Amino acid sequence: MFFAPFLGTANVVRIFLINKVINNLLDRRIGFEDIDYLCRGQHFGTMSKRFRIHPVAAGLLLILATNCVRSPRMDILSYSAEQETASVAGCPLTHKLEISLEYPMVKGDKGMAATLIRRSIFEAAFGQTYDTLSVQEAATRYADDLAAEFKELSAAMWRGWQKAGIADPAAAQWSDSIEGYFAGQNGPYRSYIVNLTDYTGGAHSNSTTRAFVFDLNDGNLVTLDDLFVPDFNDILTDILNQHVAESVSEEDLEAMFESPISPTGNYILTSDSITFIYNPYEIGPYSIGTPSITVPIKELKKAGILAKKLKTK
């Protein structure tokens, strides 16, 4: 029973059944194909006899149990909120904050992984000051701090306008938007995107997209160095640039700052591809937006540069 804290109840039951199959196998009672049936969830007889681990079976037990373990799963919850803040009396400036976040919540043996993922999400969305709080506490404190900052700044601007004799400055609504959501999965690797947008006047808003890939087994981030073999960059760059024209228009391609385009750690994994996301001004002017370039995983496998096993359709 010492397996229970690590494998979970369902897999402990499988271990009992697997051990029974191995004992029978070694006693020449069944064939090897029966083990495959067991991993599909079919049971053999009853467990009325006393459980025993055969000396030879012990060495194979955990290997066979691992083959029956499914990819980690996490429940996804969501949180949303809006807040509008006015400046000092007479000042036409207002500020609106919108928050929409997905985040994982799991109890039991995957709870720590979910906690680490939530901390990464909250740090990206709100900042490191708020990453250890619950979603409600983090969002509320962040909103209050942002409102206080806006009131102080807008009040100072209002005094400046009055001193300069600007009696009726144009009204404006400043805004901040935080959007976070899960964006694909490949085996135990789950992708997440945080979109941050703010507007404080001027010709256009400012936006940033941050992408993450989490290992659901432990909650850690999966970097490009984790995903690929050493010295992968040149080969990956060649493959990446073969797909630029599929994602970027010819006009935007001519406006690019960088050619060839280098891989970025700002990426997501889906069931059959990896997508690299570039923020405004990173590889081109603001006018091209937030370009993303998608590469099929099967091409990376063919090139032999993957260090981790990834699925393809």
- Model confidence pLDDT, tens digit, residues 243-262: 998 988 888 888 888 789 99
Confidence of residue 14 (pLDDT cuts 50, 70, 90): low
Domain with CATH 3.30.565.40 in the chain: 71-219
Pairing of strands 172-186, 93-105: parallel
228 touches 236 (CB < 8 A): yes
Q: Is the predicted pLDDT of residue 273 greater than 60, yes or no? A: yes
User: Which of 17-21, 85-89, 143-147 is least confident?
Assistant: 17-21
Choose among 56, 69, 3: nearest CA to 27: 56
Tokens linked to 287:
């006018």
Fold adopted by 71-219: Heat Shock Protein 90 (3.30.565)
Which CATH code fits 223-313?
3.90.640.20
DSSP state of 191: E
Confidence of residue 71 (pLDDT cuts 50, 70, 90): low
Three-state SS at 108: coil
Domain with CATH 3.90.640.20 in the chain: 223-313
DSSP string, 12-64: HHHHHHHHHHHHHHHTT-S-THHHHHHHTT---S---SPP---HHHHHHHHHH
Confidence of residue 54 (pLDDT cuts 50, 70, 90): low
Confidence of residue 16 (pLDDT cuts 50, 70, 90): low
